[in-house]
A and B are shown apart, each in its own frame.
Chain A
Amino acid sequence: QSVLTQPPSVSAAPGQKVTISCSGSSSNIGDNYVSWYQQFPGTAPKLLIDDDNQRPSGVPARFSASKSGASATLAITGLQTGDEADYYCATWDNNLSAGVFGTGTKVTVL
């Protein structure tokens, strides 16, 4: 089981906002940068957020992220049907000396 915990699923209507939490500890999120990934079925993950809250070029501003202590949050505003995907947080864990991914969250647009 992963050391980073995410809700299995979140949902909202088009145009609304969803947030996805990623709960960790002082040895991972609390001391290292968090990345967020978006993955559609059958495809490779795509980097959505890097360094806690930085959007790579081409990622819409509807996607934002924050971090507080040992938890991180991804927010998607103005939800679109094309946002239906799985989302993962990831970071480094100092105790494990390893990279770790969150359990993943499926976003459904109602």
Chain B
Amino acid sequence: QVQLLQSGSELKKPGASVKVSCKTSGYVFTSYGISWVRQARGQGLEWLGWISTFNDKTKFSQKFQGRVTMTTDTSTAYLVLKRLTSNDTATYFCARAGSSSWRAASCDHWGQGTLVAVSP
């Protein structure tokens, strides 16, 4: 069965960086893209970006341009968010998305979420 298993919770100080991993299994990794979505407590879903697992092409929300990096390695996807502020405190989800960027919002399997807390 398709599974996306994310790394554990993180507590970071303002200005630091965080790296979240998303280990996938149960499908051909390079046949789908990976989208990253976050959700602050009590708030809605926010799309951060998408990466092609085939050629590492990326698309990012303009809000995070210059501050976010997405990479892949074998069957694992990684999200790095730099220069953290308290506004970045949220649960971060990886999700299996379409293989084309315009299918980045079509996510049929999701990780369990990783809580990233940013506090002095």
Contacts and interface: CB of A to CB of B under 8 A. Distances in A.
Interface residues of A, number: 28
B102 A44 contact: no
B44 A100 contact: no
Contact of A45 (B50, B60, B110): B110
Contacts, number: 76
Interface string A11-40: 000000000000000000000110101010
Nearest to B35: A99
In terms of DSSP, what is the predominant structure of the interface of chain A? strand
Interface in B52-96: 59-62, 93, 95
Given A44-B95, A98-B62, 10 more contacts: A32-B102, A33-B106, A35-B107, A37-B107, A45-B110, A88-B44, A90-B107, A92-B102, A98-B47, A98-B60
Interface of B: 35, 37, 44-47, 49-50, 59-62, 93, 95, 101-113
